[in-house]
Amino acid sequence: MFRFSQLCESVAATTKKTEKIRLVADYLRSASPEDAPLAALYLCGRVFPRREERVLSVGFSILLAAVAAIVKKNPRELAPTLRHHGDIGAGAEEILQAQQTPSPLVLADIAAIYDALARLRGPAAKQSLFEQTLARLSALEAKYFIKLCTGELRIGLKESLVEEALARCYHQLLVSVQRANMLIGDISETLRQAAAGRLAEIQLQLFRPISVMLASPVDTVADLIATFPTGALVEEKFDGIRAQVHKRGAQVEIFSRTLDRVTEFPELLPPIRKVPADFILDGEIIGWRNGRAIPFTELQQRLGRKQIDLFTTTLIPASFVAFDLLFLNGDTLLDFQLAERRLKLVDLLTSYEQPEVQFTRAELCTTAQEIEAAFQAALANGNEGLIAKAPQSPYVPGRRGRFWIKLKRPLATLDVVVTAAEYGHGKRRGLLSDYTFAVRDERRLVNIGKAYSGVTDAEIRQLTDYFLAHTIEDHGQVRSVDPQIILEVAFNNIQRSNRHNSGFALRFPRIVRLRRDKPVAEIDTLDRVREIFASQHRHDQREP
């Protein structure tokens, strides 16, 4: 663990991409066969593979209490140190600086501890194991042990760079490593296969979900036309839950974009079972009533429910709308052109389409007039806008490129993460209901606004409970919180501002919805904010 922690320090100390890759490759080359796969996983900032649903459920209060118990101090005494660092891992290193002797623990030992933490129930048991572990670690090791626990490694190392290090270490083509990692969903297993020279044998498998293909946003029809000068397949963009359906025989599983199982829509399973094939579909779960999509805010009421009854499914009916076919009867279709995949999709589902299982209608548009007409029709149908796709495009999981482009309704939105929660007033007195939120800027989060409207009373109560349990700093009226809750916020425009460390502020922000389907790594970036600001500025200059 000590050597791994030293690696993390070295990677964080350099801004050069090639040097980061070299450091990781050299480490993996010299690591034991047991530790190398774990190191690859941990360097991606995760303690479990992304295709697994295990979580540590270790909140800030447990971490702080464990550190305080070791140094025999009141947790409140440690607040200045934590405030100085803004990072409990780095703060713990300073607090535990007397512990300088490297521990004998290797990464396999650390993995066993993470596994035990995930299995333990109750904060007391978790805190006890945490204390025992921290007592054995040096200050540097404790820093990275905690950073991994919180999912905040932040050493300037993306998974794509770890993939490059694997390719360099094991003399494999980068594209082969990237494809294998995408299909497996576990970089530690990808490393094992690369070391054994078996990357070419990796295939797409049923019930092992892969990352979904993403669309890049544009702001105008002209931008979309410029991306596809010879035309694009255009379909309506639904406001729902991205989902991947896997079916073999009578077995059906639905997975979210975060690769977790989706269980809140059992009424979708029987109609999917009726389709006589083995397949993987990419699509969207939407609310569907009287022949059209219903607002996401209604569908959202079904998320997180453990008991699904006839009343629920009747009151808020759901539909799975497929727009791509990735696997069919043993054949992987990822490298097929979209136009071919669409033909197979239509052929597969046409005879079995019903309100619970549908597929999108794609139209080839070649002019701005055709796209504008399709866009206005989508808005009239109550949908978000359009998705335009290159007919010849392959399916490229997990990456946002120019093969797919989305054009949404004029009201701009951003996906952001909550960094602070403030107590409200009036009927919201005693509830954390005002939320400061941030976007990503390379390795840090930068605040860009604050909103309080758009969430229900029930959601406010749930969020209050969550933020109380995940408080980083308690300032009385305001609490800095663990940045894990994702919001989609709408706003009128963006203006420059010294109030937030992003340098920008959203004007009239309001919460559209909670994004439980989205990880922090996929929130919008400061670069995206700058793009919207620049586009808005160009538009303002055109106004008479």
Residues taking part in catalysis: 237
C-beta atoms surrounding 435 within 10 Å: 27
C-beta atoms surrounding 470 within 10 Å: 19
C-alpha 199/C-alpha 180 separation (Å) is: 6
Burial 271-300, CB ≥16 within 10 A → b, else e: bbeebeebbbbbbbbbbbeeeebbebeebb
Triad 510, 516, 522: Cα angle to 5°: 85
Give me Rg for the CA atoms of the chain.
24
Expressed in percent and rounded to 5, the helix, strand and coil fractions of the chain are: 40, 25, 35
Q: Provide the β-strand partners of residue 417.
A: 438, 486
Q: How far is CA 18 from CA 21, 164, 168, in A?
A: 5, 9, 11
Contact by Cβ (8 Å): 412, 490: yes
Burial 520-533, CB ≥16 within 10 A → b, else e: bebbbbbebbebbb
Token pair for 363: 């139209």
Sign (positive/negative) of CA torsion 525, 530, 531, 536? positive
Stretch (H or E) spanning 29 = helix 17-30
Burial 327-362, CB ≥16 within 10 A → b, else e: bbeeeebbebebeebbebbbebbeeeeeebbbbbeb
Q: What CA dihedral angle connects 269, 275, 279 and 280, to 10 degrees?
A: -40
Stretch (H or E) spanning 177 = helix 174-184
Please name the residue that has the structure tokens 């960094």.
419
Which spans in 425-542 are helix H? Answer: 457-469, 526-542
C-alpha 94/C-alpha 39 separation (Å) is: 24
Sign (positive/negative) of CA torsion 500, 506, 512, 517? negative
> Three-state SS for 402?
strand
